[in-house]
Structure formats: structure tokens, C-alpha cells
Structure 1
Amino acid sequence: MFSDADAAALYDVLNPWDPDRRADDGFYFPLVMGSESVLDVGCGTGAMLSLARERGHRGRLVGLDPDRAALDRARRRAEVEWVEGTAAEARSGAGFDLATMTGHAFQDLVTDQVVRDSLAAIHGTLRRGGRFVFETRHPQARAWEEWTASNPDDVVEVVDEAGRALRYWHDVDSVADDVVTIRGTVARLDGTVLRVFRESLRFLDVAALNGFLLEAGFEIEEQYGTWNREPITASSREIITVARRG
């Protein structure tokens, strides 16, 4: 068996959170450390907020995620508030200085209504002038075309916490308008499949994304195409957004 707890542990192996070595983590971490109160929406196993606390953050840190197994793992780390729920269930009136959605979690908001409900809720959690910072893959880069077992860069071999040698890869099931549905497969090295994860991701372009943000009451403060804060161009793979509650 490959349990939900195994899946949460594997996520940390596949996605080690390290602001000293990873450009994306290094982008977010100073924002977190410089904010008195932070809500991490889609916090997963809680690596970012836990490290912030370890490195001396003394303010309020709250992680929100609907994945119970991931939160169970996060809750092993003390002095951070962990809340089970979706982005749309974020509690209004908390007055956070900063809300984040890292790891392309924003793309899990697939329908127009879910995007609207989630942005409205996140807006409501922020104090006036508070910022919402997140990223989404730019559709022009067509990242999903690289998610296949035939691409050696998409096949990862790791040893998990239980000492199992595993292989992980993706396959694309469908592309419908701006929604891509994928499978992530965990298998033993002999090919025995242990778990298949299915996920739908939405690829909004800049105009559509900004339309949703403005409708929710956000002001778009900055947008970048790279983690080095370079502008969005015709070759950008990311849309990195800093939005402010007006």
C-alpha cells in the first residue's frame, strides 16, 4: 500500500523547500520574514512557515490546506497554526499582512466560480494594503507537453522515508481549453505501480488572471516572468503576481 501519509512524505522528498538554493523559494521567503502576519494558502506539509519560525519569525503564521494527510505532517512542527480548508474557506477579517500561494497551487482553482470564491476569500483575510503573492505557469510555455514518461527530465527516482526506491512521472490525460488533466504515478523501480494521483490544472493567461484579480478588489502591484523579477515576455514560463488589497 501507498497511503495518504506516504504521499505527503513523498511530496517533501520530491519538493525540498530551500530558499538558499531554489529561486522560487528564495523569492517568497524574504516576503514572509518581512511580514508580521502571514497566511499560506495551500500550505501542504508546511515547510515554508515552519522554516520561517525556525529562523526567527515572531509574528502570526497560519497554514491553510484541504489535504488532511499533508496537514498531519505539518502539525508535527510547532508554533504555527494549521487549518484544514480550501482557499474559498479562508476566514474573513483576520487582517493578514501577506497571503501566499506557492508551488503553483493557484492552478488547482479550476472553474471560474472557484477562482472568484477563492480570491474573494483571500481578499477578505488581508488588512487594507495587505498583499497576495502567488505564481501560475504561463500557458504560452505549454509546460504540460513536457509532462511525460518519455521525457527523462520528468522521471524522478528517489528513496522515500520508508527506504523504498521509487520512480515518479507524469502523463497528460486531456487538454480542454485552459484546463489540463494529468496523472502522477508512483511505482517501484521494477514498474509495480503503487499509487496514481489525478489532478486538473488551469492555465490562465495574463489578461484572464488580471481580470479575476481586479474583479475581486485587488490592485496589481507587480508581475514578473522569472524569479529574478524580470518582466513578463513572449518567452516567460511563469506569471508571478504581487497583488494588493485596496
Structure 2
Amino acid sequence: MFSDAEAAELYDLLNPWDPARFPGDAFYADLLTEADSVLDVGCGTGAMLHLARRRGHTGRLMGIDPDRAALDRARHRAGVGDAGIEWVEGTAADCPPRADFELAVMTGHAFQFLVGDEELRASLAAVAAALRVGGRFAFETRHPQARAWEEWNPADAADLTGPGGRELRVWHEVESVTGGVVTFTGTTATPDGTVLRVDRARLRFLEEAALDALLHDAGFTIEARYGDWRRGPVTAASREIVTIARRR
């Protein structure tokens, strides 16, 4: 067996937060530096907010996530300089209303876990309500034209040393692609292929026009749109849709 707590620790190993190494992390780190208060929607294990606090962010920082094990890791990894970060268990639709945040973010393609239209509308409305007028919402979603799901298969398994020094093999496999929704599994196994855990998830791949309509209906205007982490335009070769939206 592979516990939820171990899965949260493994997530950090597979997805280290490091603005010095990863352009996407640097993109968000710059936005956090500019904002006096930040709401991290789908914060996971809290690595981004912890680093922001350690680097001197003195304003209000809040992370919200439905994964209890991830939030437990976020709370217990606190060290010197991490005081005052708020951790809330809940979905994007549970964002606190009238919270007056200057910036809300969804990193790590967390936005794509909002699958149904009603879920998207409720989540965007809640994010807007948590922001002050003029506040910004920054997030990214994989561009459907890149068909990223075609790269998710057992042949691309990652071998690594996991929690407790256990040797692990991790891979993803697509089950179906229907109407812009990709259903896939993530498998954690031993190197010989003995399966320890299988997690199933769905991701929504939205075109720009559909995304912008949802944002407009929720009370946002598009401030900036990029096709890569260096703030280049969206092109026919872009793999990302990076959005900064401002609350009206």
C-alpha cells in the first residue's frame, strides 16, 4: 500500500517548487512579490507559499485545497519564517467571499481539474468574490492543440527514490478523451511493476474562446495572455495558455 501522506510527499519529489530552475515557478514568484495578499487555489503541499514567506513576503498568504493529506504536509513543513500562512480545506468553489485578496493563483495546471461547466462557473465566481475589485487571477491550462495527453503512457515511467527511501516507478496512462475531457490514471509501483496505488483523475482542456467566455461571465477581464512562461504570445505551436485576469 501507498498512503495519502506518502502520495503527498511523492508529489513534492516529482514537482519541486524552484523559481531558479523552472520558468513557470519564476513567473508566479514574480507575481507574488508584487502582491500584498495572495490566495493560492489548489495549493497542494504549500511549497509556493512557504517559499514566498521565507523570501520575505510579509502580507496575507492563504492556501486552499481539498486534499487533506497535502494540507497536513503544508502545515507540518513550516519552519523559520513560515509564520502566519493560513491553510483551508476546500475546493475552489469554497474560496472565502469578500476576502479582499490582491492576487489569486492556480498553479500546476490545477485549473484543469475543474471539469464540468457548473463547477467551472461556481469556482470562478468564488475566486472573483475572494478578490478585491481590480484584483488579479493568474493561472495556466495546457493548450489543447498540443495534445499533451498523448505523452502520458507507461513507456515514459519515472524511476525515483520515494518516501522512506523506497524505490518507485511512477507513470500515467490515458483511459479516454471525450469532449475535451481527458480521463487518466496515475500508477505508483515498485521497480518490478508491483502496483502500490492507482489514482484516477479527469482534466478539462479548454480552447481560448470558451475560457474567456467563462471568465467574462464571472466578472473578469483579460489583462494578459501568454503562450509560454517567458510571456511570449499564444501561437500555433504554444503548449500553454497562461492567463492573468482582472476582477471588474
TM-score after normalising by structure 2: 0.97
1:45-194 paired onto structure 2 within 5 Å = 45-76=45-76, 77=78, 78-79=82-83, 80-150=85-155, 154-194=156-196
* Paired residue type of 2:26: G
With normalisation by structure 1, the TM-score equals 0.98
Structure 2 residue matching 1:103: 3-state secondary structure: coil
Q: Distance in 2 between matches of 1:30 and 1:95?
A: 20
| Superposed displacement of residue 155, structure 1 | 1.5
| Of 230-239 and 154-163, the range deviating more from structure 2 | 154-163
Deviation digits for residues 69-110 of structure 1 (CA, Å, limit 9, x no counterpart): 000000012421100000001111000000000000000000
AA partner of residue 53 (structure 1): R
Amino acid at match of 1:58: T
Amino acid at match of 2:148: A
Moved over 2 A (4+): none
Matches within 5 A, 1:18-33: 18-33=18-33
Q: Distance in 1 between matches of 2:50 and 2:163?
A: 19
Shift in Å at residue 236 of structure 1? 0.5
Counterparts of 1:155 and 1:210, CA distance in 2 = 35
What is the CA–CA distance in structure 1 between the aligned matches of 2:163 and 2:117, rounded to whole Å? 38
Cα deviation 1:170-227 (Å, max 9, x = unaligned)? 1000111110000000000011100001000000010000010001010100000000
Take 1:144 and 1:89, find their aligned partners in 2: how far apart are those partners?
29
Q: Where does the alignment leave 5 or more consecutive residues of structure 1 unmatched?
A: none
Structure 2 distance, partners of 1:210, 1:157, is 39
1:161, CA displacement in angstroms? 2.6
1:140 maps to amino acid = Q
